[in-house]
Amino acid sequence: MCGIVGYTGYRQAQPILVGALKRLEYRGYDSAGIALGGEKISVYKDKGEVAHIEAGAPRFTGVWGIAHTRWATHGKPTKNNAHPFMDCNGKVALAHNGIIENYGRLKDDLMRRGHVFTSETDTETVVHLIEENYKGNLEEAARTVVKMLEGSYALVMMHVSEPGKVVAVRKESPLILGIGDGENFVASDVPALLDHTDRVISMQDGEVAVITQDGVTLTDVEGKPVDRGFQRITFTLDDAERGGYEHFMLKEIFEQPRALHDTLVGKLGEDAPYGIPIDGVRLIACGTSYHASLVGKYVIESIAKLPAQVEVASEYRYGAVSREHPFTVLISQSGETADTLAAAKEATRRGCYTVGITNILGSSITREVDETIYTRAGIEIGVAATKTYLTQLAALYLLAMRLGTGRTLRPDTARQMREGLRSLPQHVQRVLNNSEEIEKVAKETSKARDMFFIGRNLNYPVALEGALKMKEISYIHAEGYPAGELKHGPLALLSPEAPVIAIAVKDHTYEKMLSNIGEVSARGSPVVGICSEGDRETPKYVDYVLRVPDVPTIFSPVPVSVVLQLLAYYAARERGCPIDKPRNLAKSVTVE
Ligand code: F6R
């Protein structure tokens, strides 16, 4: 969502805050602002990207301050709605991520009491509440005010009467403290801190942090001290930067052999069976993670022979469940997606055993579930999920094997699965080595207004994911369909301007897929066929051929997905789109 940063120390704060904001822009970038402490608090904010703020802001002097980059939820992206906000007297400055759900009522009451609002945001209510409850100690005021708030928040604030102090408080929205020497930091994400320190403390829900030049103190909402040491960040700033690639997304696509390897390493030994009775599995997630779950359903059903159901998190949490599967898997690369977190809470409430699959150590979801499986993709900056998705697939293969262990999974099948998993990184590398071919096809088809992605069986969700990647970064309208469904409606939309991307790997649906390809090319659509290396048939029926290594069918989503990622990437680049930061999207959706 939005990005937050706070600094206090001995150096001029403005360039530090602006630099950190730039590292957070992938979280939101429709407006930004900074507040600097001094004899008075100076605020500069505006609509637009951080570079625009940097160019426009006067040079404030001050060694403490807070800053924010926004992705609008309440109120349009305007200068007035940009953070930080100030109270009526210009003494408190505050920035917020999340949503204050009861802000309407709070705002009415505050206005009745004479407060003047300058924005349409939910956040501004909080700064006025701090103003009313401030009695000489900012963290005390924060503790009082958060008890009045419903919703989710990461809040950072400062008061002119307490120089050098930044106060932070969180509920269901990430905040990380950065420990420096003679200076300290707070930020919504690690990349904002990496220029300055590798020592971090993840704040947890309900905690209040006081950050000064001398140190950081953590307490719970009642003021009881919390004792938690720092962790060292093992990835470098370079990891969080593009490393020579034109875009983070491309870098992250090319990192996939390493990401897969890291996710699988140490996990390919014999599994201990689950010690609980399991008669079915429910998988819950959003977006790309939802597509990984759909692949996971096929994998679990075929390897563990357990019925599996998949639900979009925002539907699950409000759904009437007729029959509950007590074994529930929640997938979220960020571990912070609001709907998935709420679904995890709901699953626990319903008495399920919950397993989280996430890429972020210590993220909120890990505290909601009974067990966490980490993917080891490393930090992903591009808004479009790529390496985190592929590693989710790897985690789901491992989970399916574990679910089958001691039940349906025969030792020889387990051995073959392990071998297959072990060789996935090299198969992905072979797809990457063919990127120029994919680039050519992407250029040929990138003028399209519409695109259809078709697949069958466990490559049907792969088609959905291919379409999602294409639409979110290239802005080509794209839809994924089970190949057998086209004749039930979508064929009406096919034309020479609407290419079809057909996944035709060799499995038991291959022949059917070839007839579906015939159906679409008869309607004049150019067809891109994704087929196995040895396949001589598919090329006869398609306009463009993209080949993937011959892998056992169950693993075919892995190489095919990489082809589709590259196809989307090169199409978007050809169209000049802002690939790492597509319009209207944010990396982590921490509001409902
Ligand atoms: C698309 C994409 C999103 C996320 C979705 C869930 O490329 O990245 O659809 O997959 O917002 O995010 P996580 O996995 O962090 O819960």
Residues 583 and 561 in one domain: yes
The 3-class SS string of 362-409 reads CCHHHHHCCEEEECCCCCCCCCCCCHHHHHHHHHHHHHHHHHHCCCCC
- Domain edge (last residue) among 205, 236, 267: 236
- Is 304 in contact with 327 (CB distance < 8 Å)? no
465 lines ligand 1 (CB under 6 A): no
Both 11 and 81 in one domain: the answer is yes
Domain boundary among 236, 271, 301: 236
Task: Kindly give the distance from the C-alpha atom of residue 462 to the centroid of ligand 1, in angstroms, as a whole number.
Answer: 15
User: pLDDT per residue over 552-579, tens digit each?
Assistant: 999 999 999 999 999 999 999 999 999 9
- Shared domain check, 424 and 438: no
Which atom from ligand 1 is nearest to the alpha carbon of 334?
Answer: 15
The whole-number pLDDT of residue 321 equals 66
Residue 427 and residue 457 share a domain: no
**How far does the centroid of ligand 1 lie from the alpha carbon of residue 414, in Å?**
30
392 lines ligand 1 (CB under 6 A): no
Cα–ligand 1 centroid distance for 286 (angstroms): 6
Of all residues in the chain, the percent with pLDDT exceeding 90 is 79
Q: Is 332 in the pocket of ligand 1 (CB under 6 A)?
A: yes
Query: Is the confidence at residue 172, as pLDDT, over 90?
Result: no
The pLDDT of residue 322: 52
- pLDDT over 70 at 2, yes or no: yes
Q: What's the CA-to-centroid distance between 436 and ligand 1, angstroms?
A: 27
- pLDDT value of position 360: 82
CA nearest ligand 1 atom 7, residue: 384
**Strand duo 42-47 + 31-36: pairing:** antiparallel
Return d(Cα 356, Cα 340) in angstroms, integer: 10
Do 428 and 439 share a domain, yes or no?
no
For the CA of 358, the nearest atom of ligand 1: 14
Find out whether the beta carbon of 384 lies less than 6 Å from any atom of ligand 1. Answer: yes
Closest residue by CA, ligand 1 atom 9: 287
Using an 8 Å Cβ cutoff, are 203 and 221 in contact? no
- Cβ–ligand 1 contact at 586 (below 6 Å): no
Quote the pLDDT of residue 191: 86
Q: Which residues are catalytic?
A: 2, 587
Ligand 1 centre from 108 Cα, in Å? 35
Q: What pLDDT, on the 0 to 100 scale, is given for residue 1?
A: 55
Pairing type for strands 327-332 and 281-285 reads parallel
Q: Do 331 and 439 sit in the same domain of this protein?
A: no
Q: Could you list the residue range(s) of the whole structural domain that residue 80 is in? A: 3-236
- The gap from C-alpha 294 to its chain's centroid, in whole angstroms, comes to 18
Same domain membership, residue 575 and residue 469: yes
* Nearest protein Cα to ligand 1, atom 3: 287
Share of the chain above pLDDT 70, in %: 97
- The pLDDT of 388-395, averaged and rounded, is 98
Asked if residue 219 and residue 252 are part of one domain, the reply reads no
- For residue 211, which of 179, 167, 180 has the smallest C-alpha distance? 167
In this prediction, residue 370 carries a pLDDT of 96
pLDDT digits (tens, 9 = 90+) for 85-102: 999 999 999 999 887 989
Could you tell me if 220 and 261 lie in one domain?
no
Task: Confirm or reject: Cβ of 565 under 6 Å from ligand 1.
Answer: no
391 Cβ closer than 6 Å to some ligand 1 atom? no
CA-proximal residue: ligand 1, atom 10 (nearest): 288
Side-chain-side CA neighbours of 405 within 13 Å: the count stands at 20
Looking at the structure of the chain, the number of domains it has is 3
Mean pLDDT across 353-357: 97
Contact 240, 214 (CB under 8 A): no
Q: Does 470 contact ligand 1 (Cβ within 6 A)?
A: no
The reply to whether 467 and 364 lie within a common domain is no
289 within ligand 1 shell (Cβ under 6 A): yes
CA of 332 to the centre of ligand 1 (A): 7
Are 456 and 557 members of one domain? Answer: yes
The pLDDT of residue 242 is: 72
